[in-house]
Amino acid sequence: MKEKHIVSKVVLTKLAKSRLPLAAFVVILLAFLLAVALPVVAHHSETFPPVFNVPNGWQPEGIAMGHGSSFYVGSLLHGGVYGGDLRTGEGQVVVPPQEGRIAVGLAVDVRSNFIFVAGGGPLLGPIPGSAYVYDAQTGVQLAEYPLDGVFINDVVITRDAAYFTDSGRPVLYKVPLGPRGELPDPSAVQEIPLGDGFDFDPDLFVNANGIEATPNGRWLILANTGFESLYKVDPMTGEAFKIDLGGDDVPDVDGLVLAGKTLYVVQNFTNQIGIVSLDPSLTSGVLSDEPITSDEFRVPTTAAKFGSTIYAVNARFGDFTPGEPSPDLEFTVVGVPAR
């Protein structure tokens, strides 16, 4: 590295003493500085660990990215939230465990640095069907929104609202947000019935699951685990349209990640992340026959994207009894290249 700095100094000195026109000098200088900087950036990105642990026994389900390279993982056991840095994979408990709560999906509003948590519900026992909001820096609870839900499963944040799915009811819950992410009073929460285009069976354990939104918030995309399907939903009316995948299904569909017109579909027990190329209208898509796989996947449930990497959290369903402590069981987050 010392030799590189010496070479850089020599080259810059020669450029400065040259008689090049100012415009040409600036172009050459910028090209040189970029060439020097790129290897440093590439080297830095390679230091991010591809696999790292959350606390033993944590029983994670949801993962979300926050400011910079920060990440947050919730717990199905006690509703706590663990936070860390992708650069090291290390972290600490941000929201402490709380009796009678679980944390399923979660999302971070980077405007306010608030963590929104889907709090499950009575489908898994005496748990309120509520949503919670915490300060990502202090872990202090800022709000609780009773949603009368059966199982509040996942959440996505747009510029004007947070939307929660319910696996046991064909509805969405909308928590309106202010311009800077200000939180409303619980009385402002809206229940939006999903239209007839959304398949629903009350006898299924999980209907609506993962949720994503287009950047402008005009459309939502929902995963339906029980029907192995994806839906485009109007958040204003709840009208739903099944996305045509050319006859393909997405078994074990769970969390979603939308990047442009590419939808990454986490398929938990299938141990893979499917890739759907959506058309501009979001009404149809092509499911790749080459999903993202990893030997490190242990029933991944949700994922989040950082740069060119998708980070999936391993829930390890089947390796423990839900609601019961598993203090010696290891849980990991796995980073895989997006494509």
For 280-329, how does the pLDDT look when each residue is reduced to its tens digit (9 = 90+)? 999 999 999 999 999 999 999 999 999 999 999 999 999 999 889 999 99
| Strands 171-176, 190-193: pairing kind | antiparallel
Task: For 102-138, write each residue's pLDDT tens digit.
Answer: 999 999 999 999 999 999 999 888 899 999 999 999 9
Neighbouring residues of 120: CB distance < 8 A, sequence distance ≥ 6: 76, 101, 102, 103, 104, 127, 129, 151, 152, 153
Q: Give me the count of residues in the chain.
A: 339
Of the candidates 178, 168, 170, the one whose C-alpha atom is nearest the C-alpha of residue 143 is: 178
pLDDT of residue 123: 85
Residue 12 has pLDDT above 80, yes or no: no
Q: Which residue in 160, 150, 247 sits closest to 207, CA to CA? A: 150
103: region left, alpha or beta (phi > 0 left; psi from -120 to 50 alpha): beta
More confident residue, 98 or 15: 98
- pLDDT, average across residues 187-194: 98
Q: Once rounded to an integer, what is the mean pLDDT over residues 238-245? A: 98
Q: Is the predicted pLDDT of residue 32 greater than 70, yes or no?
A: no
Closest CA to 278 of 206, 216, 221: 221
- Average pLDDT of every residue of the chain: 90
Helical spans, DSSP H, in the chain = 2-17, 22-45
pLDDT at 331 over 50: yes
Q: Is the pLDDT of residue 89 over 70?
A: yes
Q: What is the pTM of this model?
A: 0.87
Query: What value does the mean pLDDT take over residues 219-242?
Result: 98
Note the pLDDT of residue 311.
98
Q: Which two tokens stand for residue 246?
A: 């050319």
**What angle do helix axes 22-45 and 2-17 make, rounded to 10 degrees?**
170
Q: How confident is the model at residue 144 (pLDDT cuts 50, 70, 90)?
A: very high
CA torsion angle 240 245 246 247 (round to 10):
-80
Q: Round to whole Å and give the CA distance between 147 and 166.
A: 9
Phi, psi for 272 (deg, rounded to 5): -160, 170
Percent of the chain with pLDDT over 70: 86
> Contact at 8 Å (CB) between 270 and 225?
no
pLDDT at 322: 84
Average pLDDT over residues 15-34: 47
The residue among 263, 265, 273 whose CA lies nearest residue 334 is 273
Burial label, 304 (beta-carbon count in 10 A; 0-12, 13-18, 19+)? buried
Lowest mean pLDDT among 13-17, 49-53, 54-58, 200-204: 13-17
Residue 5 has pLDDT above 70, yes or no: no
pLDDT range class, residue 258, cuts 50, 70, 90: very high
- Please tell me which residue, 1 or 202, carries the higher pLDDT value: 202
How does strand 253-259 pair with strand 262-267?
A: antiparallel
Give a three-class secondary structure readout of 146-212. Answer: ECCCCCEEEEEECCCEEEEEECCCCEEEEEECCCCCCCCCHHHCEEEECCCCCCCCCCCCCCEEEEE
